[in-house]
Structure 1
Amino acid sequence: MSQQTAEQGRRSSLWRHRDFLLLWSGETISQTGAQISLVAVPLTAISALNAGPTEVSLLTALQYAPVVLITLFAGVWLDRHRRRPVLIWTNLARFLLIMLIPVSYLTDVLSLGLLYLVTFAVGLLAAVFDVAYVVYLSSLVSREQLIEANAKLETTYSIAQIGGPGVGGVLVQLVTAPVALVANAGTSLLAAATFLGIRKPEVVERPEHERRPIRAEIADGMRAIFGHHVLRLLIVQAAVYNLFEQIVLTLYLLFGVRELRLGAGGLGVILTTAAVGGLVGALVAGRAAAAIGTGRCIVGSMVVSAAGLVVVPFAPATPALAVVVLITGFVVYGFGLGVFSVHTLSVRIALAPAGLLGRITATFRLIIYGTIPIGALLAGVLGNLFGIRAAIMLGAVPLLVLSLLFWFTAVRHADISAVGTDGETNTV
C-alpha cells in the first residue's frame, strides 16, 4: 500500500469507527438541545418574567459560573475514572432539571429565582460533561485522527447551532419560551441513550504512586499548561476572546428585541447563520492548516472571528437592513470560530502529557470559561451605563485589537504534525 493510500485510509477511517460515530451523534443531539436553550432560557426571562439587562446578564453568568467551582475537581476525578457513565448520567440529570422550567411555568410558579437555580445546576452538569467528552475522545481515536475527529465534532457544533437557535426561536413563537424547553430536555434524554450504545471497553490509566492530595493533582495540570509556552499562550488567548465575546453575545437578544424590533424567530435564524459560517470553517480547517500551518490558522481565525463581531453594533434600526448586517457579521464570526476551535483543541490534546488530559482540559475550561460570567456581568454594567448598542461596541472593538496582537505570539508557529510522543513540539 502506498503512503498516499495509507494516508487516505486514516482520513476516512472515522466513518467506519462505530463508537466514535455514536459519540459524535450523541454530542450532536446534546449540543442541539443546548442551542435551543441558548434562545429559550433568556427569552423566558425576558418575555415571561420581564427581565432587563441586569437579570439577563446574571442568568448568563450563572450558566458559566459552575466552571469555576467544579471543573478542576472534575478533571482530577475524570483522569482516574471511566468517562462514558458520566456522559450518560449528566444528560439524564439535565433532562430532569430542564423539565422543571416548563412544568413550573404551566403551574404558574415560575420565578427568576427558580430559573437562576436550574440554570446554575445545569451549568454544573455541563461543566463535568464537557471535560468528560474531551478526555473520552482521546481514548477512542488515535493522535493521527485528532484533527479529523475535532473537525467532525466542530461540524456537529455548527450543525447544532444551525438548527438549535432557529428551532428554538420558532418554538418560542409557537408555544412560548418556557414550553419550548421541553425539546431541550428531550435531546438530553436521547443523547444519554446514544452514549449507552458505545461498546469499546474504557481503559483508565491509574498512577503507580499512592493517591496524593487533590490540590497536588490539580497543580500537575496547571504546571503542564503554564510550563509550556504554546499551551500558556493558547489559554490566555481563549480567555481574552471569551471575555469580550460574551459582552456582545449577552446583549445580542436584548439589542434585537428592544432596539431593532426583531422577533424571536428572526433572532434565532440570524444566530444560525453564525453556525453556517462555523460549519464551513470546520470543513476547511484541515485544508487551511495544510496550506498555512496550524498556528497561523489559530491566530488568523481569531482575527477573522473578532472582525465579524465588530459588525454587529452597526446594525441599523431598519429591520430589513439590520438583518443583512447581522447575518454578515455572524457568518464571518462563525467561520473564524469554526477554524479556531478545531485547531486549538487538537493542539491542546496533542501536547497533553499522558494521564494529564483531564486536568489540562479542566484547567483550560476553568480559565477560558471562567471569563464568560465576568463578561456577562460586565455586559449588564456597560448596558446600563452606556446603552445596549454602545456596550456591544465596547466588547467587540477591544476584542479585535487584542486578537491582532496575538498574531505576533509563538502560537503562530505551532504545528501539530511536529508534536513528539513526549508532548513537546519540535518547531516552536
Structure 2
Amino acid sequence: MTQRILVIGAGIIGASCALALQRRGCDVTVVDERGPGEGCSFGNAGNISPGSVVPYSVPGSLRKVPRWLLDPQSPLSIRPAYFARFLPWGLRWLAASRREHAMGISEAMRQLHAGALDAYADMLRESGQSSLVRMSGQLYVSRVPGKARGSDAERAMREAAGVRVEPVDGAAIRDIEPTLAPHFQSGLWLPDNGSCVNPQRLVQVLAQLAVQHGAVLMREQVRDFAVDGPRVVGAILADGRVLRADAVVLAAGAWSARLLRRLGIRVPLEAERGYHVTLQAPGILPRIPTTNKDVGFAVAPMEMGLRFAGTAEYAGLDAPPDMRRARLLLAQGRDMFPGLSADAHTAWMGCRPSLPDGLPVLERMAGRPGLIAAFGNSHFGLTAAPRMGSVVASLALGETPEIDLAPFRSDRFSGDRAR
C-alpha cells in the first residue's frame, strides 16, 4: 500500500525529503506557512561542500571566544539580554570541541556530506536546471601567513576524510581569484567543493519536481501534531484542520524544537542568526566562492549578483534583526575587493537551526512512532540535503539507511539539561 507522508517544512531539507519520498512511490504532502525556499534556505551562501568535515567547535575554540565577544567586528554576537538563555547551549558547544568528540563529529559530517554534488546532478537532471549547481571549488583566505590552512586538528580531520586540499600563498591566491585584495597572505583551495548560484531557486525547482511526481504543496501553518496514543498520525493546522499521514517528517528548521515541545520532547536547538548582503551591481564579480577566515564570512558569486553571508548572532528566534551585522559584512567585503560598488544592495537575516555539536537530528523519534526528524543542519543544510532526503525515504519505508545514524540521535544530549 502507498505510504502517505506529510513533510513539515519547505526549505532545502523538506524539499529534498519530499522529492526522495515521491520518487520512491510515496504519496507526499509538504506543508509550510511560507513558500519553498523562503526561510533560511533563501539567504545562505550557496556553498555545497562535500569537503566540509570540520565542525565549528574544534580544539582551541575556547581560547577564541573571549576575543570574539569583545570584538564588535567578530563573527560571533550574543545579545546581552539573551546571554543567560544562551549559556547552556554555549557550554555544550564548547564541550563538543574536545578532540576525540570533534573527530567523531567530523566523521559523521563526512558520511552526511559525501557525494552531495553528484546527488544534486541526479536530482536536477530532469528539470533542465542543472546549471544551478556548479563544480566551482572553494577558496579560504587569510591575512595571516598559514592561518587559512587551519589548525592541526582541522588538518587532521581533512586528512582522515580524504579531502583534497591545496595550500596557496601570496600571488598564487590571486591566480585562483584575481579580484581579491593583495593583503591576503595564506589560502586553502578545495577543488572538489561546489556552489549553488541561487539557493532559493534550487529549493523551488526541487519542490516543483516533487509536485511533478505527484506531491502536494500546502501553504499553511502547523500548530501541533495529531496523535493517537504515542503514535504521531498527522499535523493540526492553525485553523484546526487535521492532515493525516502514515508518517510525519519534521523538517521545520529552527522552528522544529517548538513543535517537538508540543510532544514533551526537548532538544537544544538554537536559532543561529545569519545575515547577508547581496549586491546587484558590484562592479566586479569574483568567479570563486571564497571564505574570509579572519572575520568568518563567505563571498558567493550568484546569478542575482554578489553575496556576502555570515556571522553567528544569538538573540532567540523572535528578536528583530540587527542590521548593523549586515553593514559589517558590507564593510568587510569592501576590504576584500578593491573597487567594489555597493550602491544597489539588499540585506537579510535568517535563522540557522543549530545544535551544539553542529550535527542535525536525523532519526525515527524514539517513543513516537510515525515521526521522523530531519532538522538542525546549522551551516551545512545545502550540503547535507540530498543525503538527508535519501535517509528519510529509507526510514519512511522501513529500510536500513545507508549511513550510521547514531551520531544524529536526539538523545545524544540527554546527559545535559536541554532547553
Instruction: Compute the TM-score of the two structures, normalised by the length of structure 2.
Output: 0.25
Identify the structure with the greater helix proportion.
Answer: 1
Instruction: Compute the TM-score of the two structures, normalised by the length of structure 1.
Output: 0.25
Identify the structure with the greater strand proportion.
Answer: 2
